[in-house]
Structure 1
Amino acid sequence: MKTSDKTHLFNLELVSKDDLRIEAVGSIDEANAYIGLAKTKIDDERLRKILHDVQVNMFRAGSQVVGGDEKITKADLEELLEIVRRMEGEVEFPRSFIILERDEVSAVLSVARSVVRRAERRVVSLYRNGLVDYTLVEWLNKLSYLLYLMILAVQKGEYEPVEL
C-alpha cells in the first residue's frame, strides 16, 4: 500500500484510511461540521449554545476513537441526558410520521442527525472490537435524539404529516 493510503492515529500508529477507526472519526468530524452549520443558522441562543457545547464534546469523541487522551465521560453523558429531559418537556411530539425538513435550519439539523447516527453505527463496531467504551455509543445515541428534539423545537408544533 502506498503512504497516501494511510494515516496516523494519535499514538502515531500508521493505519489504512479505510480502517474502522478512521471511518468512525470521519463520521464524527462530518457530523460536527453539520452541527456547526446548524449553529450558524439557528436563531435560538440557547439551542446555539447547546450546539456549541456539543461541538466541543465531538472533538473529545473523535480523540477517543483514534486513541487520544480526551474522551466522552459518564458526566458528559449525564449532562446530555439532562438537556434531553428538559427538551422533552418543551417540545410538542407529533402524533404520526412527519417530514422533518421544513426549512433550512431543520434540514441541516436533520442531516447532522443522520451523520451522527452513522457515526454511532461505526462506534458500535469499535465497541464490539474493544476499542472504545460503551459510554461513547450511548452519548452518540442520545445526541441523535437531541438533534431530533431540536428539529421539533424549531418547528414549534407545526408539522407536515406523512400519509402512508
Structure 2
Amino acid sequence: MKKANKTHLFNLELVDKDDLRIEAVGSIDEANAFIGLAKTKIEDKKLREILTDVQTMMFKAGSQCVGGDVKISEGDLKNLLNTINYLQNAVKMPDSFIILEKDEISALLSIARSTVRRAERRAVTLYRNGAVEYLLVEWLNKLSYLLYLMILAVQNGEYEPIEL
C-alpha cells in the first residue's frame, strides 16, 4: 500500500507529494477547475468553446509536468496565440490599471489566471532543472494573458479604474 505522502509519476517513480512536479501539476489542476467553474457561468458560446479547448490543453500541460508522453506542442502554442489575437481585436483594452473582479465570472477567471501564473513559476523551475521544455513555460505565460483578455471580454468594456 502506498503511503499518503507519496504519489506516482507516469514512469511509476514514487515521489513525495510536495515534489516540484506534483506542485506544478497541482497548480494546473486547480486552474483547470476554476476555468471549468467559470465556463459553467459564461453565456457566450465562443468564450465557452475557448475555455473547453484550454481545459483540454491543460491536461497536456499537466502530463508534461509529470513525465507523460503527451505534451504541449508548437501547434498548441500557435492555436493559443491565434485565440489571443482574436480576443485582442474583440475587447476594449483599458487605458489604466483596473479592478479585474467585477462579478462572479471575472472573479473566477481571475483566480484561474493567478493559479496559472503559479503553475508557470513552477514550470520555470522545472525547465531550469531540465524536467520540461521551454515551450510549456511559454504556453502557460500566454494562457495567463488569454485569461486576462477573457476577463476583459466578460466585462464588456465596463472597467473600474484605479487611481494610484
Pair 1:56 & 2:56 matched: yes
Partner of 2:22: 22
Structure 2 counterpart SS, 1:15: strand
1:15-50, CA deviations, whole angstroms, 9 ceiling, x for partnerless residues? 011100000000000000001001101111000000
Partner of 1:4: 4
CA distance in 2, matches of 1:133, 1:106: 31
2:105 partner letter: V
Partner of 1:163: 163
CA distance in 1, matches of 2:94, 2:110: 16
CA distance in 2, matches of 1:141, 1:21: 17
TM-score with structure 2 length normalisation? 0.98
Partner of 2:47: 47
Pair 1:120 & 2:120 matched: yes
User: How large is the RMSD of aligned CA atoms in angstroms?
Assistant: 0.9
Partner of 2:75: 75
CA distance in 2, matches of 1:157, 1:25: 34
CA distance in 2, matches of 1:50, 1:93: 19
Pair 1:132 & 2:118 matched: no
What runs of 5+ residues in structure 1 fail to find an aligned partner? none
Residue 124 of structure 1 and its aligned partner are, at CA, apart by: 0.5
CA distance in 2, matches of 1:14, 1:53: 31
CA distance in 1, matches of 2:119, 2:69: 20
CA distance in 2, matches of 1:128, 1:20: 12
Residue 137 of structure 1 and its aligned partner are, at CA, apart by: 0.5
Aligned positions, number: 163
TM-score with structure 1 length normalisation? 0.98
1:70 partner letter: V
Residue 3 of structure 1 and its aligned partner are, at CA, apart by: 2.0
The percent of aligned pairs where both chains have the same amino acid is 73
Residue 143 of structure 1 and its aligned partner are, at CA, apart by: 0.4
What runs of 5+ residues in structure 2 fail to find an aligned partner? none
Partner of 2:142: 142
Residue 10 of structure 1 and its aligned partner are, at CA, apart by: 0.6
CA distance in 1, matches of 2:50, 2:109: 13
Structure 1 counterpart SS, 2:28: helix
CA distance in 2, matches of 1:94, 1:36: 26
